[in-house]
Amino acid sequence: MFGIQGRLTLLFVVIVTLVLGISGTYAQHSLSQELEAGSQRLRQGVLARLQTSLPSALWDLDKAKVDNIVAAEMMPPELVSIRVYDTSVGLFSGRLRREDGALVPIETDAAVGGTPVVADLAYRDSGGAGAALKPVIVGRVVVNFSRAQIEATLAAEVRRKVIEVLLLDLILVAALALSLRIVFDPLKRLRDGLVDLATRDSDEVEELPDNRHDELGEVIRGFNAIQRKVKSNIQRIREAEDEARQAALATTRALDELRLAQESLLQAERLASLGGLVAGVAHEINTPVGIALTSASVLMEATEKVHAAVAEGNIKKSDITRYLETAAESTRLIMNNAYRAAHLIHSFKQIAVDQVSEARRRFELRGYINEVVSSLQPKLKKTRITVSIACPPDLVLDSYPGALAQVLTNLTLNCVDHAFEPEEEGRIMIGVARQGDWLEMQVSDNGKGIAPDMIDKVFDPFVTTRRGQGGTGLGLNIVFNLMAKQFGGTVTVASVLGQGACFTLRMPCVTPVTPVTPATPVI
């Protein structure tokens, strides 16, 4: 435990360190500015001298003089190199400072370290007595300056300041440790007594020595006076903690049972919607299968008649013509209704398998939405509600189609059950837009909307306006949980009373593999 003594020591150390750090920072900044100013003066002086002395030597192509001037200017260690260029021959002369400090001539125009500074060399030629001086550019000089000296000086100053701060901190810590022991040693004994009192298993009371005649001695005597009462209070607290622990365990078990019951209800609701889908599809398939069976019976009866006529040898052309007409019509009816039944079975099979298996796969979104809406036709055909779909083509998701079918089914049937009165015309719109790696889907209607006192509760479990009429209040809660946990997305709702409602789903095009913690419903 980091006690008061340690905190006081740390506080003083921090204050002293902060003050010294601010002072050192200011001194470092001042030193840096001073060094930079000196470096700038050195640069200006070197360039000024070179621009004064080199042009005449370069005009006369006096390489020895140029070399002497360059060598003289290379004395300061801040200079890395000086290169003199003639306008006609290029690199005319130069000196380079090696890492060991030796100066060597520069033979080639290779890259040199340091910060380069370029200046033109102008030779002022007098055109005669009394004529104005005309500057002539005879070349240029490139001087590379090194910041190593500045950085080394600054680094040395930083090290000096750090050592100074550390020494002062050590002295301060030692002084505080010796001075605070007068106060904190008795407090430590009092602390140990309190800890022993709190952790002692027996009912015995061990008093602390109270031979001090100062304020701390009075505190210790007061502690000894109330120790027995504290001991009894600790015992009562332990008994209360045991009771609270048992109550917490019972509450945890009840919460686990409630969570299991809720998950069972949610699963039952999902399976119930699948059962309704089975019943609707079975009823829908009954009509095309019945027509196909009737057509097949008519075709079989006509075939038997023709077969009998052929066997008796009195077959007529009119019999064959009539048989062909019957066969063509029956075949047409059988094919059309068989195709219709096959389409319904295919849509139902894909949706049902997806909802049961919870398998993840890649699928084309627009076609899958059409299959989901087709599977809901047995429910929709009993109403005057139309469903329109606006989805970009070739939009492929890597996700859980069964969960998405459950979401679309719940939202669509929620609109059918709550947004419109029986026999009322209405429209449900499913719109999809891609936004980078994310998908936004809106399921909206032009119905009566959601009441303001209900819109904050639509995603809560067991909240329904059709209590006692078949509504469980789990449909939108399932939508919220699937979007948050299965897809890693969000669902929001907006509604104006009398103008319909709009549910907005946002989910990634590639569902994350790791589970997602459910978020709070957003309205």
The answer to whether residue 277 scores a pLDDT higher than 60 is: no
The answer to whether residue 17 scores a pLDDT higher than 50 is: yes
- Residue 4 to residues 120, 248, 257, Cα–Cα distance (Å): 69, 35, 47
Residue 278: pLDDT band by 50, 70, 90 thresholds?
Answer: low
Per-residue pLDDT, 206: 66
Q: What are phi and psi of 132, to 5 degrees?
A: -70, 145
The answer to whether residue 268 scores a pLDDT higher than 70 is: no
Per-residue pLDDT, 440: 94
- Looking at per-residue pLDDT, the higher value among 489 and 211 belongs to 489
- The chain-wide mean pLDDT, for the chain, equals 79
Is pTM beyond 0.75? Reply is no
Q: Residue 443 and residue 430: Cα distance in Å, rounded? A: 5
The answer to whether residue 447 scores a pLDDT higher than 70 is: yes
Question: HEC profile for 462-480?
Answer: CCCCCCCCCCCCCHHHHHH
Q: Residue 256 and residue 269: Cα distance in Å, rounded? A: 20
Comparing 145-149, 214-218, 355-359, 471-475, the range with the smallest average pLDDT is 355-359
Chain segment 343-372, per-residue pLDDT in tens: 666 555 555 544 545 678 899 999 889 988
pLDDT over 90 percentage in the chain: 11
Chain segment 24-39, per-residue pLDDT in tens: 888 888 888 888 888 8
Residue 501: pLDDT band by 50, 70, 90 thresholds?
Answer: very high
Per-residue pLDDT, 468: 47
Long-range contacts formed by 514-518: CB under 8 A, 24+ apart: 515/485, 516/484, 516/485, 516/487, 516/488, 517/484, 517/485, 518/480, 518/481, 518/484, 518/485
Per-residue pLDDT, 522: 42
Mean pLDDT for 34-52 is 87
Specify whether the CB–CB gap between 494 and 504 falls below 8 A. yes
Per-residue pLDDT, 42: 86
Chain segment 390-405, per-residue pLDDT in tens: 999 889 999 888 888 8
Tokens of 312: 């008796």
Per-residue pLDDT, 430: 94
The answer to whether residue 521 scores a pLDDT higher than 50 is: no
Per-residue pLDDT, 154: 86
Mean pLDDT for 320-327 is 82
